[in-house]
Structure 1
Amino acid sequence: MSSVETNYQFATSHEWVKDNGDGTVTVGISDHAQGLLGDVVFVELPEEGDITLAGETFSLVESVKAASDVYAPVSGVIVAVNQALDESPEIVNDSSFEEGWIAKIKLDNPQELNALMNFDTYSASLED
C-alpha cells in the first residue's frame, strides 16, 4: 500500500487531508482533481490566521482550462500556506500529494475527520 492509500482521507469535492498527528492537517487537491484541471497556472492561497469552515471555499486553483474553488474539508485556523505555489503553481500537477499541498489547518473539531472518505471509498466514488 502506498502512503496515499493509508495516510490520506478525501472529501467528495476532491480535496485530500493528511492528519499530521499534532492537531493539524495538511490539505491539497487530489491527483484526480489536478488531472481534470490540466496545467495549473495559479493558486490563490488563503492567509495564515484565516478561519475555515468545512465545506466553504478557502482557496482557488486556476488552470489553462478552468478555475476551480477549493473547499475546506475541515474547520479550523490556517497555520501555514505553501508559499512555493506562488512561484511554481505547477507543483500541484507534479506532486499533488507531497509538495503540492495548499495549507495546513489547526483543527477545531477532530471529529470532522470521521466524515471524510478513505482512499478505497474515494477511488470507488470516481468510478460512479
Structure 2
Amino acid sequence: MEFILSKINIVVFLFLAAMHLYWVCNGQLGIAATIPTKLNGKRVFTPSRFGTFIVAVGLFLFAVLNMVFDGLVQVPIAPSYVVYGMWIIAVIFLLRFIGDFKYVGITKRFRKSVFAQKDTYFFSPLCLFLFVSHVVLVID
C-alpha cells in the first residue's frame, strides 16, 4: 500500500505544480474556481505571479521529498530530516483541510461560490487524502 500511496502523492504534487506553472504563464483553464470569492463574487485575494510560482516550487519540492522518502531519489540528507519533512507536509495539508473558518476548508462559512463548491467536493478531500497518506507513510 505504501508503494501506491507514495506514487499517488508524487503524481498529485507534480500535477499541481504543473498547473501552478501554467497559471504563472497566464493559462486560464480552471483559474475561475481556484480563488475563494465573497458573496458578491469578488475574489478574497488576487495571487501574484511570483506567489503562484513559489507555490509551484513548493509543490514540486513536496514531490521530490516524497521521491526521496520512497527511495526513488538519493540525496545526502539524514533520513530523520526526510521524515520531519513528511510530517510538515502532513500538517500543512491538515491545516488546509480544516481551513480558515471563513472561505476555505471544512470550516468555511461561505459555501455558495464556485470555489466553495469545488473546495467541498474536491480540494478539501484531496487535502485530507494528502494528510492521511503522509501520516500512513511515515508511521508504517
Query: TM-score, normalization: structure 2?
Result: 0.22
Which structure is higher in helix share? 2
Which structure is higher in strand share? 1
Larger Rg: 2
